[in-house]
Amino acid sequence: QEICLNDSEVVLCGGAENMSQSPYAVRKIQFVTKLGIDIKMEDTLWSAVNDTHIKTPMGVTTENLAVKYNITGEDCDQYAMKTQQRCKAASDAGYFNEEMAPIEVKTKKGKESMQKDEHPQPQTTLEQLAKLPTVFKKDGTVTAGNASGVCDGSGAIIIASESALKKHSLTPLARIVAYHASGCDPNIMGIGPVPAITEVLKKAGLTLKDMDLVEVNKAFAPQYLAVEKVLGLDSEKTNVNGGAIAIGHPLGASGSRITAHLVYELRRRGGKYAVGSACIGGGQGIAVVIENTA
């Protein structure tokens, strides 16, 4: 947007999330510390994924989608299994190598280099998934096995204007064709990618059939399956190397991760167009169409 408004020429875009270090908080302790009054500790990670407007956890809004679109727990487990398998196959083939960078971490043994994600569970079986209890609803669909977990991550991409490419003699990996953000009912916030993808394709003058790849970020399996059902997505070109259920969804990093992954996978396959999308807590969806410039 800054580039479109000529406020910037080259922008470093990205984010990071350290979900495993989300603190506990005590509200208003600087004002109220009465003797005999229990101090209430708040899990800030849990409160962050609760919609304060409709006072509903995101997981419950996902269960609403499961009911609305007749999605079963078995459907979710099967999709989670497919995601883990696709992620493992892509990882073994080295498809993530170009878009990932190792980091150094301090351990009891000294500094160590982390080369691979810890979040994927390639050993997952359908039998294991079926035994997991549901989290948000007694007879629901969402379990720890068919949703993304608590994870940390960071991501960054560089976006530049066409004039900046010429000015600095830069070679782009891809071109942003169009982007769009949409609103939706917060009670089914996970359906956000549907209007976002629909509208961004209109802006681009393209259709889903023109897309060689589609990415729909999936924090929860029923959320993705609802989007797939409404849009009629082709599973053979959607989330082809797994997604958030396997890779994880460190909130601030996912936009960069999805965009970068589409760029590299599009080039690897020799495709032309791809669309990436995500739902946003509070009742939104966002999508971007990119074009391979190779």
pLDDT classification of 292: cutoffs 50, 70, 90: very high
Give a yes or no: residue 4 inside a domain: no
pLDDT in tens, 24-38: 998 877 776 676 677
Question: Which residues span the domain enclosing 61?
Answer: 10-16+56-95+110-292
Residue 160's Cβ-count burial label (10 Å; 0-12, 13-18, 19+) is middle
- Among the residue ranges 18-32, 146-160, 189-203, the one predicted with the least confidence is 18-32
pLDDT score, position 33: 65
The pLDDT of residue 29: 77
CATH number, residue 159: 3.40.47.10
Distances 258 to 31, 216, 261, 277 between C-alpha atoms, Å: 43, 9, 5, 8
Structural domain contains residue 37: no
Distance CA 83, CA 69 (A): 20
Mean pLDDT of 224-246: 97
10-66 tens-digit pLDDT: 999 999 999 999 999 988 777 766 766 777 889 999 888 899 899 999 999 999 999
The answer as to whether 40 is a domain residue is: no
Q: Is residue 103 part of a domain?
A: no
Give the helix, strand, coil percentages of the chain, each rounded to 5.
40, 25, 35
Whole-number average pLDDT of the chain: 94
3-state secondary structure of 112: strand
Q: Return the pLDDT at 31.
A: 74
Count structural domains, the chain.
Answer: 1
What is the per-residue pLDDT for 28?
77
In angstroms, how far is CA 189 from the centroid of its own chain?
Answer: 14
Mean pLDDT of the region 158-166:
97
Write down the pLDDT at residue 32: 66
Distance, in Å, from the CA atom of 235 to the CA atom of 28, rounded to the nearest integer, reads 49
The SS3 of residue 122 is coil
Domain assignment present for 254: yes
Residue 50 lies in a domain: no
The answer, yes or no, to whether residue 281 has pLDDT greater than 70, is yes
